[in-house]
Amino acid sequence: MTHPPPRDPRATAAHGPGQWPVPRPPVAYTGYGHPLSASVPGTARRHGLASWGQRCLARLLDTCFVAVPLGVVLVLAWLLWFFLALLADRTVESASSGSMIFMSVCGFLACTLYDVIFLRNWGRTPGRMIAGIVVVPVNGAPRIPLDALVARSALFQLPALATWAPVWALVLAYGLWAVLFCLWPLWDAPSRQGVHDKVARTVVLRQD
């Protein structure tokens, strides 16, 4: 007399009447330890997309974490640049303009690197850790590709390069930035992605 094989404890659903349960297919995980399906809608149903409020909180916290130490360093660098420019017999206006461009570029690079380093290694920055969200690739890849991360972070930080520009240009740059990157997730469906997310093919989820 033959006996049926022992029941697999991982089996979850019966294939039909009188048939042995079918094992559940393995769940894919990202390199950051978060389960992820191949499609954004499926992922959202299982894990939940980050809310707009969570994303804003994370950005606000990260801005504070970066701005305070970076501000001190940039002010000192600005004073040094300004002083050296004056020693080189440049006018005050020229020295001031050059130092502002220098500060803009340094701020842009520092903020971009901050995002890239944390997202590449952990999928979240300190601000996102506190807010309880994580950035993951939409296709279930182990990690977000480095080039995609650089593009995502650089796009979001672009207005930093305009801090030396005239007021009207600054208002225009930050206005476009607010619509495309900050507000876009409010009406984007089904993934709540900003333009930078769409370029990098990433989605922001609640952290389980």
Coil, helix or strand at residue 57: helix
In a domain, 48, yes or no: yes
Give the span between the Cα atoms of 67 and 111, in whole angstroms: 9
Q: pLDDT above 90 covers what percent of the chain? A: 44
| 11 three-class SS | strand
- Average of per-residue pLDDT across 105-116: 92
pLDDT of residue 12: 45
Query: Domain span at residue 175?
Result: 31-206
Q: Is residue 165 included in any domain, yes or no?
A: yes
CA-CA-CA-CA torsion for 107, 111, 113, 117, nearest 10 degrees? Answer: 160
202 membership: H or E segment, kind and range: strand 202-206
Classify residue 79: in a domain, yes or no.
Answer: yes
pTM for the structure as a whole: 0.72
Count of domains for the chain? 1
115-169 pLDDT, tens digit each: 999 999 999 999 999 999 999 999 888 889 999 999 999 999 998 888 777 888 8
Q: Which residues pair with 206 in a beta bridge?
A: 133
- At 71, the amino acid letter reads G
In a domain, 153, yes or no: yes
Residue 8 lies in a domain: no
